[in-house]
Structure 1
Amino acid sequence: MITLVRVDNRLIHGQVVEAWLPFLKVSRVVVADDEAASSPLIRAAMALAVQSAIEVQILPLAQVDFAALSKDGVRTLVLLRDVAAVPFAFAHGLALDELNLGNVHFGTGRRQVSPSVFLAEAELKALQQLAEQGVRVEARAVPSEKPVELMDLTERWAKAG
């Protein structure tokens, strides 16, 4: 069972390990990312960062069986590197009620919508399409923060232009 899907450029890092994993009480972390999956060094570093009681899978995005993860009963955190991966995963069986934007780096054409999230217009539109399908989209770095909902992110994006 997918407990949370999080978009975070850093994938597995301190906030995930120290805040999200204990909060979500997951038994598995799935990193769906081509770059991380192709690097033995990155895979090893991420696996070492997570306590051994939690299973870590680092797979290319296209090889993740999102439908199976949704149904197997194992509490799972899914980590995606960028917003572009979300519609792909959704189209390939990812069933989600909520999407967390944890960290999306600044880039060309992106506007700041929270302290750690910058979005381009196409990314914002993709998130809005997910919301129209019933997905709650929010930005927050750690569980103790107040979530910033998509409507507020959209308003901030418009004001930042």
Structure 2
Amino acid sequence: MRISLIRVDDRLIHGQVVMGWTQALGIEQILVADDEIAVDETQKQLLLMAVPAGVTADVLTIADSATIVNASDSAVSTMVLVRGPAELAALRSAGMPMSTVNVGNVHTAPERKRLTKEVHASDEEIGIWRDLAAAGVRLEARWLPSSPVTDLGRLVGTQS
């Protein structure tokens, strides 16, 4: 499987954002790596209803997602989606290769600080972002393909 984009977006498969990325990158397949939704058939089906026409999609556990990606020799252009930094770190720990990750949207919450217009993080999540960046994962905060890129790894490296 050819991974064209690994994206962190707490909405996972979501309207114009997914459409923008699938069209810009010629994405043919979406793989959602999420332990909770993978075992909830109702949530899984609701999520899959948002898949753009002409694109296939599946929702698997984080471990199964890493296994499938590593075992596949398919040339299908694939977008991998996770909901947050903890899931991204778990995916990497499960063996998913990643050099660059698109960080698209992580909503605000009472314990979260604003890092960019679309990305918010708790102190624990900032620690996860830092660890990923220190491990060599390039974290690009970018909402849409036409949006400017913010180096999230550099940004969280300066947070206190």
TM-score normalised to the size of structure 2?
0.86
Establish whether residue 36 from structure 1 lines up as the match of residue 37 from structure 2: yes
What amino acid does structure 2 have at the position aligned with 1:134? G
Q: Distance in 1 between the 2:131 and 2:58 partners?
A: 28
Candidates 61, 71, 79, aligned match of 1:68: 71
Q: Shift of the alpha carbon at 1:52?
A: 4.1
- CA separation of 1:154/1:111 partners in 2, compared to 1, >3 Å: closer, same or farther? farther
- Can you list the C-alpha shifts for 1:105-148, whole angstroms capped at 9, x where unaligned? 22243100111111122222222222223211011111111011
1:8-157 counterparts in 2 under 5 A?
Answer: 8-64=9-65, 65=67, 66-68=69-71, 71-150=73-152, 151-155=154-158, 157=159
Q: Shift of the alpha carbon at 1:73?
A: 2.4
Give the RMSD, CA atoms, in angstroms.
Answer: 1.9
Question: Could you tell me whether the CA contact under 8 Å between 2:13 and 2:47 is conserved in 1?
Answer: yes
| Matched length | 156
Question: Could you tell me whether the CA contact under 8 Å between 1:15 and 1:141 is conserved in 2?
Answer: no
TM-score normalised to the size of structure 1?
0.86
Please identify, of 48-57 and 28-37, the stretch whose mean Cα deviation from structure 2 is larger: 48-57
Q: Distance in 2 between the 1:45 and 1:54 partners?
A: 16
Q: 5+ unaligned residues in a row in structure 2: which ranges?
A: none
Q: Shift of the alpha carbon at 1:63?
A: 2.0
Q: 5+ unaligned residues in a row in structure 1: which ranges?
A: none
Q: Find the residue that maps to 1:57 and give its secondary structure.
A: strand
